[in-house]
Amino acid sequence: MSTRPRITFDEKGRCNACQWSEEKKSFDWETREKLLLANLEKYNAYRKDGYGVIVPVSGGKDGSYVAHQLKEKYGINPLCVTIRPPLELSVGRENIYNFVDSGFDHIHVTPNKDILQKLNKYGLIEMGFPYYGWLICIITGILQIAVQMGVKLIFYGEEGEIEYGGSTERRNESVYSPEFQKRVYLEGGYEKVLSKIGEKDGSKLSWFQFPSDEDCKNIALTHWSHYEPWDSYRNYLVAKEHCGLKEKSEPNTGTFTNFAQNDQALYSLHAYLMYLKFGFGRATQDAGIEIRRGAMTRDQGVSLVNLYDNNYPENFLELYLDYYQMTELEFNEVIDKWVNQDLFEKINGRWQPLFKVK
């Protein structure tokens, strides 16, 4: 959708995600692997006196794949770190323990649940982002552990901005700084949301705070997708075979897939709000990925989008109301606040699209 933040189109009407998927076919990936090896050397990834690399993991397909490749292909024992999500799902909990049992060193961080709930509630109200507090922590908590452990290199999976049609400012850069995370991934709302926590709870914010600028200068962040063609379905198959990944028995709310974003219940609300803000939801994201990798036709994708995208997460509603400590009326008022009314109208209490994907 043209409403996606930071998306651009060429003269043929192709978005930058599709342009990127075509451009990657001409890349010299051997040269990029040499860059990977150079970065591993440069940032002391092979150190013998501790961990040289951190891989953030949720137990899902992508972090599991990156950790597996580092260990099995490049002989590096990564330190894997999980920030426990809110409203953790049973399949997600099982997957993270299966991942650890498959042979990885791992730190599991559980930030203060009351503070996390408050930050997530403020994020929902102030940013239209239902797990904004957790998003902060999966950035700041990882950085803090890197500082404490003396690790200089953090490996994420794909660069979502480049792969899925966002900012391309880093398309030719293999590493980046924490400043980019704060500015782009946290959408400029970091200070605003943290300011909602009173002084008496200030000491409980430690996992949600960035290390000093000086410490951040010593840390390089990178994405595995810079060094080899990114294929989330391949990652799923590798994680399933080698890391004990399990999928759900039925499709996830709002989409036709069952093997991704299974760690927490709030992702379904995040995807629904994304749909109401921008006119595309979880099924559009998944269909775009499948079409670009050649596993689905555009017509098939359109059918699935029209079937799944507009899906109010009714199955989790009581869970959300209890978590945010809201009535259903208060909850729906917050949702209404973030709706793009150029794209939607309310009919019988639910928002319906004024457009049709064709």
The tens digit of pLDDT for each residue in 187-206 reads 778 888 888 887 677 778 98
* Edge-to-edge order in the sheet of strand 53-56: 105-109, 79-83, 53-56, 153-156, 220-223, 175-176
Binned at pLDDT 50, 70 and 90, residue 186 comes out as confident
Report the candidate in 253, 265, 261, 263 with the shortest Cα–Cα distance to residue 321: 265
Q: Same domain for 86 and 208?
A: yes
| Distance, CA of 3 to CA of 221 (rounded, Å) | 28
Report the candidate in 353, 316, 309 with the shortest Cα–Cα distance to residue 331: 316
10-40 in b/e burial notation, b at 16+ Cβ within 10 A? eeeeebbbbbbbeebeeeeeeeeeeebeebb
Using DSSP bridges, classify how beta strands 350-353 and 344-347 pair: parallel, antiparallel or unpaired: antiparallel
Identify whether 165 is part of a domain: yes
Identify whether 163 is part of a domain: yes
Identify whether 358 is part of a domain: no
Q: What is the pLDDT of residue 167?
A: 78
Q: Which of 198, 232, 266 is a domain's end point?
A: 232
Q: Same domain for 157 and 72?
A: yes
Percent of the chain beyond pLDDT 90? 78
Report the candidate in 265, 276, 271 with the shortest Cα–Cα distance to residue 323: 265
Identify whether 243 is part of a domain: no
Mean pLDDT value of segment 105-117: 96
| Distance, CA of 153 to CA of 213 (rounded, Å) | 16
Q: Same domain for 262 and 227?
A: no
pTM of structure: 0.92
Q: Same domain for 292 and 147?
A: no
Q: Same domain for 89 and 212?
A: yes
Q: Within a 13 Å sphere around the CA of 83, how many CA atoms are in the beta-carbon half?
A: 23
Q: Same domain for 208 and 290?
A: no
Q: Same domain for 61 and 154?
A: yes
Q: Which CB contacts under 8 angstroms, 24+ apart, belong to 22-27?
A: 24/229, 27/229
The tens digit of pLDDT for each residue in 307-349 reads 999 989 899 999 999 999 999 999 999 999 999 999 999 999 9
Please tell me the total count of domains within the chain.
Answer: 2
Identify whether 241 is part of a domain: no
Q: Given CA atoms 187, 192, 196, 198 in this order, what sign does their dihedral have?
A: positive
270 is in which domain, residue-wise?
252-353
Q: What is the pLDDT of residue 197?
A: 85
Average pLDDT over the chain, rounded to whole?
93
Domain CATH for 223: 3.40.50.620
Residue 262 token pair: 């299974």
